[in-house]
Amino acid sequence: TRTSSCVPVKYETTNRDNKMYIRHSSCKQTLKSILFIVLFLSCVVLIIYLMYINQGLSLNYFEYPLDVDLYMIYENRLKTADKKASVEPINPIIFNTILRPVPSCKLANQFSVSPDLVILVKSALLHFKSRDNIRRSWGNPNCYRHHKMRTRTLFILGRLGSADWEHSSTQKLVLQEHLKYNDIVQFDFIESYYNVTYKLIATLDFATSECSSSQFLTLIDDDFML
């Protein structure tokens, strides 16, 4: 009888084959690393781009503002008859008012008298309770009578971002508040945290054009205590 046994076969490889295999594995690993890095960087750039777009930021090139003597420009503007500045502003004011007190910066009970202090409160659109609390506390003119100071408190608001904001329930409540207290200044820009700069620019423009006869102006948020 013949018997057969399984004898393991040993394959011998040359050093040249080993080197080629190692080199191939190394190139393959390097290629994977490069692809991973490219994919990772692409994801980072895409995420940053989407964040900019979502926040309404612009990726366009812009230059630093003009290096000018702003004080002298406005001094000369006040001296000219047409009130035109010698240097045009980079970002002109384009915000119209939706609601505004009549008269704007006069005492609530004496329309011909300008207050000594105008308190401009930057308030969020839905902060109805905060505005009521301010009217009953540090925004109330009676709080300053013992200092012999006449005050006027105005609340600065934006508007809703929806297409039918004029017919919304929120806008109706704001209108009722305005008719009741006559202290709302509402501008035609969307009420948003990212539009705080718009609110500041619009408020300063309103103050310089409507409240120039007052001695003092104070700009404050509705979550502060004066």
Q: What is the DSSP string of 70-122?
A: HHHHHHHHHHSSS---SS--SS-----EEE--SSSSS-SS-TTS--SEEEEEE
Report mean pLDDT in 10-residue bins for the chain, 226 residues. Answer: 50 55 69 88 86 62 63 74 68 84 84 90 96 95 89 96 93 96 95 92 90 92 88
In this prediction, residue 226 carries a pLDDT of: 76
Residues 195 and 107 in one domain: yes
Residue 208's pLDDT is 87
Which structural domain range is residue 101 located in? 95-221
Predicted pLDDT of residue 111: 77
In a domain, 106, yes or no: yes
- Flag whether the pTM goes above 0.85: no
Q: Is residue 23 a part of any domain in this protein? A: yes
Q: What is the pLDDT of residue 124?
A: 95
Burial 183-213 (b: 16+ CB within 10 A, else e): bbbbbebbbeeebeebbebbbeebbeebbee
Q: Please tell me whether residues 37 and 100 are part of one structural domain.
A: no
Say how many domains are in the chain: 2
Strand-by-strand arrangement of the 216-221 sheet: 97-99, 184-190, 151-159, 117-122, 216-221
- What's the pLDDT at 157? 97
Task: Look at residue 73 and tell me if it is in a domain.
Answer: no
Residues 124 and 173 grouped into a single domain: yes
* Residue 75 belongs to a domain: no
Q: Does any domain span residue 111? A: yes
Residue 2 lies in a domain: no
Residues 120 and 161 in one domain: yes
